[in-house]
Amino acid sequence: MSGWRDTLDLVSIDELAAKFSLNPDELHTISGLYPYRITRHYFNLIREKGDPIWIQSIPDLRESCDDQESDPLSENCLSPVPGLIHRYPDRVVWLVSAECAVYCRFCMRKRRVGCGEGLLVNSSEVIRYISENSSIRDVILSGGDPLMLDDEQLEGILSALKNISHVEMIRIGTRIPVTFPRRVTKKLAAMLAKYHPIYINTHFNHPTEITPESKNACAILADAGIVLGNQTVLIKNVNDEPETMNELMCKLLSIRVRPYYLHQMDLVKGTAHFRTSVNTGLDIMASLRGHLSGLAVPYYVIDLPGGKGKVPLLPGHEVRSDGTIQLTTYLGEKVIYHDI
Ligand SMILES: *Cc1c(COP(=O)(O)O)cnc(C)c1O
Ligand code: SF4
């Protein structure tokens, strides 16, 4: 049924440890805390220890010594039924899969990916909730990675949503074009196209992730009429230099992907060593805006703690000397955000 699974081709901890002379026990310990998984495609993009691909995918002891909370965005409280996050009136996020092709070390949902908790099991409850809430017009499939479902499972979800008359569009958030591009087939794209309008947001963080294979995956999706956007996470020592971000944004447009969001890292447990300051992001934005095609410039956003939503950070925003920044939520509430 799932022919693509045979081509997933994962690199084991022991192979990783042998290739780079690492301590396998240490890697096993960290992966007991937060799961480890890397595809050979992504692994082969590593050029040397500590490079941007490495930083994003190889377990690091610093993940285990960080005392942030694990659900700063209060996603658990905004969940009317398991697996669904309803924060904004007209749209919901549905966590349809707990699995990814690569487990990113900086993941904001790292407490739940790879552990199969509370996902898909209640799909009829989710469908009922969406049917009964006619204000929901936009359903965002997320996870984990929705494209780790089999085509048949995914189609079951899409067709159930398509049957709800007030659902006007479906979005899919996926890192598969980056981590496992072979999964994107013409068959998959043709299936998705039956449920238009479908929008896909990919997740490229570094120019070296844009390979001929990922370019091809994006072309297959775009040729099926799917509008492609990209969400980048701003990560220390990965893409926190203006030149890197500039190159990434231009290359994305060249593979028919429109930059959408640049995310300030959330304050999630196990990820403190990836975080940059807000000023780093503001400086990067200043280096993009006006210098590049407007299409290449994403919104730089912070997802406010407590589930207050995403706020764009604009050139006028200033981090005060005490490290705080005043932001206004979409509901007009003023909040103080604490930068690192
Ligand atoms: C990001 C997000 C959305 C989508 O927000 P857009 O700004 O429309 O892309 C919806 N719900 C939740 C909970 C989110 O975190
Ligand atoms: S692909 Fe997305 S959900 Fe999966 S580990 Fe990476 S960032 Fe997290």
Residue 218: active-site member: no
Residue 300 has pLDDT above 50, yes or no: yes
Average confidence (pLDDT) over 228-241: 98
Over residues 159-170, the pLDDT tens digits come to 999 999 999 999
The band of 122, judged by pLDDT with boundaries at 50, 70 and 90, is: low
Q: How far apart are CA 8 and CA 133, in angstroms?
A: 38
Give the distance (Å) from ligand 2 centre to CA of residue 321. 34
The band of 118, judged by pLDDT with boundaries at 50, 70 and 90, is: very low
The band of 287, judged by pLDDT with boundaries at 50, 70 and 90, is: very high
Strands (E), the chain: 84-88, 91-95, 138-142, 169-173, 198-202, 227-233, 258-263, 299-304, 309-312, 324-328, 334-338
Give the distance (Å) from ligand 1 centre to CA of residue 108. 14
Atom of ligand 1 nearest to the CA of 301: 7
Atom of ligand 2 nearest to the CA of 175: 1
The pLDDT of residue 68 is 67
232 close to 56: Cβ distance less than 8 angstroms: no
Tell whether ligand 2 has an atom less than 6 A from the beta carbon of residue 268: no
Average confidence (pLDDT) over 242-252: 98
- The full DSSP string for 75-117 is TTTT-SSTTEEEEETTEEEEE--S--SS--TT-TTTTTTTTT-
The pTM of the full predicted model, rounded to 2 decimals, is 0.96
Residue 1 has pLDDT above 60, yes or no: no
Residue 65: active-site member: no
Tell whether ligand 2 has an atom less than 6 A from the beta carbon of residue 175: yes
Report which bound ligand comes closest to the CA of 115: 2
Our measurement of the distance from residue 82's CA atom to the centroid of its chain's CA atoms, rounded to an integer in Å, reads: 20
Tokens standing for 208?
Answer: 């070296």
Number of domains in the chain: 1
Over residues 88-99, the pLDDT tens digits come to 999 999 999 999
Q: Which amino acid is at 40?
A: R
Residue 208 has pLDDT above 90, yes or no: yes
Over residues 173-197, the pLDDT tens digits come to 999 999 999 999 999 999 999 999 9
Residue 70 has pLDDT above 80, yes or no: no
Residues with CB under 6 A from ligand 1: 85, 87-88, 91, 93, 140, 310
CB atoms within 10 A of CB 306: 12
Segments forming the whole domain that contains residue 235: 3-338
Q: Please give the mean pLDDT across all residues of the chain.
A: 93
**CATH code (residue 82):** 3.20.20.70
Q: Which residues pair with 310 in a beta bridge?
A: 303
- The full DSSP string for 44-87 is TT--STTSHHHHHHS--GGGGS----S-TT-TTTT-SSTTEEEE
Q: Which residues pair with 229 in a beta bridge?
A: 201, 258
